[in-house]
Amino acid sequence: MKDTMPDSQMSLFEYNKPTIVVWFSCGAASAVAAKKTIERYGDTHIIRVVNNPIKEEHPDNQRFLKDVEKWLGLPIEFAINSKFPDQSCVTVWAKRKYMSGVAGAPCTFELKKKARQEWEASNKHDFLVLGFTSEERHRFDRFKLSERDNILPVLIDAGISKGECFSILEEAGIELPEIYKLGYPNANCIGCVKSTSVTYWNHVRKVHPDIFKERAIQSREIGCRLIQSKGKRIFLDELDPNAKGKKMKNMHVECGIFCGL
């Protein structure tokens, strides 16, 4: 019956389908979440995949986005906070005079959460999907309780872990973002201010010394002690280059539309 509908009725039929929005962060988990959402709900729902582009992410993230777009067979849209058209965390920190702390990270709030809310205000949507993997049920439950209850646990229901997301992409012939190969635990911005780990920041100092220096200078100007070391907060330029903490693979610092600290 669908094939014989006039174009005008077909358009109305499609519009009346519920819409699922997948928020794609240029990470492995959200890429696989988008694919599984299409496979599970594509026949009964309109699926839209939306990204918040961030200036401080590794440039290879955009190559990964294009590869994922081809794999999904859907265009990936962009959501930007109109108050920060340059999509820069550095701009947000400078304007807010705050980088990270007990109040969270303003970059995530302005460039992802507020951008998402601005997009939702003018776009039809019924459900959303984030890249919460099988080992992140607690983060999913927290988001559902404190933010939105119309979130679908696509990866959790499928029992897919973060490691399995890497394998799925590799089997599909999609090269992972360069940021993972450089030893970072996720595809966040380089020099993510939500991390307080001495291990993480010494890794940034080693792999991206210019970015480490930029963060050190700006955090001093703002007065933000980003690192937790030996029971106290310290500035980046006070960090011992040889200091070590827990392994980065055990860190849970993700940057999505829900700021998980």
CB atoms within 10 A of CB 166: 15
Is the pLDDT at 5 greater than 60, yes or no?
no
Task: Calculate mean pLDDT across residues 190-216.
Answer: 96
Residue 51 and residue 25 in contact, taking contact as beta carbons nearer than 8 Å:
yes
pLDDT at 247: 81
In angstroms, the CA 110 to CA 114 distance is 5
Average pLDDT over residues 11-19: 72
Instruction: State how far the Cα of 191 lies from the Cα of 208, in Å rounded to an integer.
Output: 8
Residue 91 predicted with pLDDT over 70: yes
* 8 has pLDDT over 50: no
What number is the average pLDDT over the span 90-105? Answer: 92
pLDDT for res 235: 97
Q: Which long-range contacts (CB under 8 A, 24 or more apart) does 10-15 make?
A: 14/46, 15/46, 15/124
Average pLDDT score over residue span 143-151: 88
Q: Which residue has the higher pLDDT, 57 or 146?
A: 57
Task: Using the predicted structure, report yes or no on whether residue 80 has a pLDDT greater than 90.
Answer: yes
Q: Which of 65, 256, 59 is nearest to 174 (CA)?
A: 65
Q: State pTM to two decimals.
A: 0.85
Tell me what pLDDT residue 48 has.
Answer: 97
Query: Is the CB of residue 260 less than 8 Å from the CB of residue 253?
Result: yes
Between 255 and 158, the more confident residue is 158
Q: With a cut of 90, say whether residue 121 has pLDDT above it.
A: yes
